[in-house]
Amino acid sequence: MNTELSKNYTPETVEDKWYQYWLDKGYFTSTPDNRPAYTVVIPPPNVTGVLHMGHTLNETVQDVLVRHARMSGFNACWVPGSDHASIATEAKVVQMLEKERGISKHELSREDFLKHAFEWKDKYGGIIYHQIKKLGCSVDWERVTFTMDDHYYKAVIKVFIDLYAKGLIYRGARMINWDPQAQTALSDEEVEYKDIQGKLYYIKYKIVNGQQTVDNGQLTDDYILIATQRPETIMGDTAVCVHPADPRYQHLRGAKVIVPLVNREVPIIFDEYVDPTFGTGALKITPAHDINDYNLGLKHNLPAIDTLNADGTLSEAAQVFVGMNRFEARKAAVQKLKEDNLLIKEEEYQTRLGFSQRTNAVVEPRISTQWFVKMRELAGKALEAVTSGEVKIHPEERFLATYKYWLENVKDWCISRQLWWGQR
């Protein structure tokens, strides 16, 4: 037997030896008994990639707590697993297929795509579990769970049916966040807002039967000036809105304007929502493509004209630039407005724009039929648990106000996705 010590300490060899020893002895295995239970379900890492430093910190903290509980006489159970991460993983698989194999998702059947997705899951799920072992985490490997396992799927369906029966889940057409690249709905939490340098376009909307005036020796139609960041949505306009107290537009009560590019007559409406100091104080209202416009449309009974396809190209309803990418359509609309002498000026403008957290595509507000969870009732219970002292937040002075703001302003949660990878 060779007992010569290595000149160099190799932690990997020592760590692997002792971790295997712990597993062989069943130290991390948990079977219900008379001891008080101490259970932690690991926040399952997404199978989109590998563990990072944040995971390392998180797993270390959990391991300290679980090991302390085990040494203190508790029946400690730490359940490992991984998350299928529906939209994020599908985006990664689509990207991999295009870059490495020259295959488009649209060339595949659902079944064939899922084969590639499960290959991805097996590869990165395996790497993640290997990393958890290398960290020395004292998880019960006999309880490994993947969030698309059969028993998990059955639990999802059971809860869905239960919430539906209680009236907490419903299906309806509402304004949602739409990712044109992944071609799916997104929850509010999957949208990241970034400050960008945009443009404001000042555009003439001619007044129907308005008076003509002479400007620099030329006969000019009476018009109202609109400032917009999105001229590619003009074709979906169904009204122009001004503040009821704005003295500049009192003479236009009951009037109509002509929407540029499509020559549609739409009413001028008055609503206190409008900020008279922003732009020209007059807003184009496009109920199908802006959440605030959508709400105004409901209030004033305006039609909603959806001018975008699911992939972000212009639909037949747009009448012009049909099939063109939305950003190319913006350029084309600006050019046409210039040719028609309807574009007065362009201004640089700092704005915030929503991007898909998973594909980085610019998110489109879109009316779509989806499944939603009613959040008010659920949020009320969660808020009461904290305000009553049943659940404590630390440090309270730092996070309690934020927690209350989130729950008091919660909106219904869009839970359906137009994806192949995930729960059905």
Q: What is the DSSP string of 152-217?
A: HHHHHHHHHHHHHHTT-EEEEEEEEEEETTTTEEE-GGGEEEEEEEEEEEEEEEEETTPPEEEETT
CA distance 233 to 290: 10
Q: Are 232 and 198 in contact (CB under 8 A)?
A: no
Mind listing the pLDDT tens digit for each residue in 47-90? 999 999 999 999 999 999 999 999 999 999 999 999 999 999 99
Which token pair is 218?
Answer: 């030329």
Q: What angle do CA 61, 66, 70 make, to 5 degrees?
A: 150
Q: Which secondary structure element, helix H or strand E, spans residue 230, and what is its range?
A: none
Please name the amino acid found at residue 408.
E
- pTM of the predicted model, to two decimals? 0.83
Report how far residue 239's alpha carbon sits from residue 415's, in angstroms, rounded to the nearest whole number: 32
Cβ distance 257 to 265 under 8 Å?
Answer: yes
Instruction: Please state, in angstroms and rounded to a whole number, the distance separating the CA atoms of residues 76 and 53.
Output: 25
Q: Which secondary-structure segment (H or E) carries 228? A: strand 223-228
Contact present, 113 and 105 (Cβ < 8 Å): yes
Low-confidence ranges of the chain (pLDDT < 50): 214, 217-219
- Rounded Cα distance between 257 and 324, Å, is 26
What is the rounded CA–CA span in Å between residue 379 and residue 363? 26
Cβ–Cβ < 8 Å for 420, 114: yes
**Beta pairing partners, 185:** 178
Nearest to 209 by CA among 256, 142, 276: 256
Euclidean distance between CA atoms 416 and 418, whole angstroms: 7
Domains and CATH numbers, the chain: 11-145 (3.40.50.620), 188-365 (3.90.740.10)
**Do residues 344 and 206 make contact, with C-beta atoms less than 8 angstroms apart?**
no
Q: Where are the beta strands (DSSP E) in 230-377?
A: 239-242, 256-259, 264-270, 282-285, 343-356, 364-373
Q: What CA–CA distance (Å, rounded) separates 48 from 253?
A: 56
Tell me how far apart the alpha carbons of residues 236 and 288 are, in angstroms, rounded to a whole number: 7
Q: Is there a contact between 138 and 42 (Cβ–Cβ < 8 Å)?
A: no
Whole-angstrom distance, CA of residue 272 vs CA of residue 263: 27
> How many Å is the Cα radius of gyration of the chain?
29
Task: Note the pLDDT of residue 217.
Answer: 47
